[in-house]
Homo-oligomer: A and B are copies of this chain.
């Protein structure tokens, strides 16, 4: 039975997050419903990362088995003709039979957008956190260097998380300003629950001069959630991309690996 890998993009504004739930409109439920419409087959999908309500994705990865004879490269067109406009398949390919989008990933990249204009931002209200406070963006950028590396990120994990280990390696963390728009870029081998949103909330405290840039070191060492900043709202967060090792690209053929 072929296994298909899709890279998808979605506007999370109108969904209660990725994961299927009873009585809630979710990305997973919508995709599985349209797969049923397309293939007349009950298909269960799994994803590289479950995004929360209101969180967006530019490069989420999902995989599923199917008995359908649709050629791997044709799933993009075929499924897009069924999906609503706020979920789009960007590319499709055949995956190896054991491909697991979450467990085989080497790293994930997220971005968090801030929009810093008064009085408000009509066009960014669902796509960024609007913050009109003056921010020390240089300090915020400096603080990012203390987040990079292998650390116990318990202080940046939502309480009640079921994570067994709290050590994660942040491969890249930066904060940039481009006019009224600001963005946090972070890549790690894995993320704890709400980790990016708590890091962004803590960087905002640095920007407001309530925490010094070097204060990030103490917060990490404290392993105390109460020392970090608040969890910022979901609408500024984007899952940008997921990286796999060459042997686990999820693509069944060398040709599609070269093109990925």
Contact = CB atoms under 8 A, between A and B. Distances in A.
A259 to B, nearest CB: 14
B86 A120 contact: no
A125 B76 contact: no
Nearest to A125: B85
Interface string A58-102: 000000000000000000110010000111111000000000000
Task: Give the bracket for the number of chain A residues in contact with chain B.
Answer: 20 to 34
Given A11-B123, A80-B119, 13 more contacts: A9-B122, A10-B122, A56-B123, A76-B119, A77-B119, A85-B120, A85-B125, A86-B122, A87-B122, A88-B119, A88-B120, A88-B122, A90-B119
Interface of A is mostly: mixed
Interface string A1-38: 00000000111000000000000000000000000000
A127 interface: yes
B89 A125 contact: no
Interface of A: 9-11, 56, 76-77, 80, 85-90, 119-123, 125, 127
A86 B125 contact: yes
Contacts of A125: 85-86
Contacts of A9: 122-123
Contact of A85 (B76, B80, B122): B122
A127 B123 contact: yes
Contacts of A76: 119
A10 B121 CA distance: 9
A123 B119 CA distance: 23
A86 B13 CA distance: 14
Contacts of A77: 119
Contacts of A127: 123
> Top 8 nearest A-B pairs by Cβ distance?
A88-B120, A9-B122, A88-B122, A85-B125, A11-B122, A80-B119, A76-B119, A86-B122
Contacts of A87: 122
A9 B120 CA distance: 10
A123 B123 CA distance: 11
A178 to B, nearest CB: 12
Contacts of A88: 119-122
Contacts of A121: 88
